[in-house]
């Protein structure tokens, strides 16, 4: 871990005048009192606004509900974590000993928070125009793939429609495990495409949420494959 942060900056396309801001953005609270929590707060607001503006411009006839759902899908924790992994952000994070032992550099929450913090640092270092350019660059592919007509449909519905359009069999969902106490359970569900011998697993606090998570992962597999 602790790869050169300047490589991350190069991947973002922003040259930091104040490298101390980038260092702070990559420092988790477990590593010391000067950490990325405040920058995370700032970055979260910036991402939300920039993506909202981009959607407003791209979809002039979409109503407020559709715009909100599209934005929520784009900026959710899992989406930000995936972007962070693409940047190898986890390799540059500074974590305390406990988080290092438990694999914090690969955890969705820490990666998503780290990306928000880095974008907050870009803003303080280069201003709004620089931040907007970086954010739109990061989200370019996802914005291109966003469909206003499908914004209100959940992953299971979208997966079913995609398979039906291709005349393929519908997926099979199977509960693999239920862990935890009755009031705090975690479900693990598999989603299987028999005709492709392809299976993914999703987790959630209910069977429905786990199935939706698995369907979302399967959609990503189909998109990337």
Is residue 184 among the annotated active site residues? no
Whole-number Å distance between alpha carbons of 8 and 23: 11
**Of the candidates 8, 78, 49, which has an alpha carbon nearest to the alpha carbon of residue 220?**
78
Is residue 91 among the annotated active site residues? no
Q: What phi and psi values does residue 172 have, to the nearest 5 degrees?
A: -110, 135
**Among 40, 99, 113, 116, which one carries the catalytic annotation?**
116
Whole-number Å distance between alpha carbons of 195 and 61: 38
Burial of 65 (0-12, 13-18, 19+ CB in 10 A): exposed
**Among 44, 125, 211, 216, which one carries the catalytic annotation?**
44
Beta strands in the chain (DSSP E): 172-179, 186-193, 198-204
Active-site amino acid positions: 44, 116
């Amino acid at each position: 871990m602790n790869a050169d942060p300047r490589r991350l900056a190069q991947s973002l396309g922003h040259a930091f005048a104040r490298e101390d801001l980038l260092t702070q953005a990559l420092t988790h609270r477990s590593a010391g009192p000067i950490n990325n929590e405040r920058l995370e707060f700032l970055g979260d607001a910036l991402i939300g606004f920039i993506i909202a503006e981009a959607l407003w411009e791209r979809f002039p006839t979409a109503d407020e509900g559709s715009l909100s759902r599209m934005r929520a899908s784009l900026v959710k924790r899992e989406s930000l974590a995936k972007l962070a992994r693409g940047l190898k952000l986890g390799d540059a994070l500074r974590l305390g000993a406990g988080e290092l032992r438990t694999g914090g550099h690969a955890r969705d929450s820490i990666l998503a928070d780290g990306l928000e913090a880095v974008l907050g640092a870009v803003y303080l270092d280069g201003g709004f125009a620089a931040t907007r350019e970086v954010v739109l660059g990061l989200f370019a592919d996802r914005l291109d793939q966003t469909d206003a007509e499908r914004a209100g449909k959940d992953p299971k519905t979208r997966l079913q429609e995609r398979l039906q359009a291709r005349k393929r069999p519908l997926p099979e969902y199977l509960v693999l495990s239920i862990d935890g106490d009755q009031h705090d359970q975690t479900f693990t569900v598999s989603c299987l495409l028999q005709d492709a011998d392809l299976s993914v697993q999703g987790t959630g606090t209910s069977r429905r949420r786990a199935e939706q998570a698995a369907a979302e992962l399967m959609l990503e597999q189909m998109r990337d494959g």
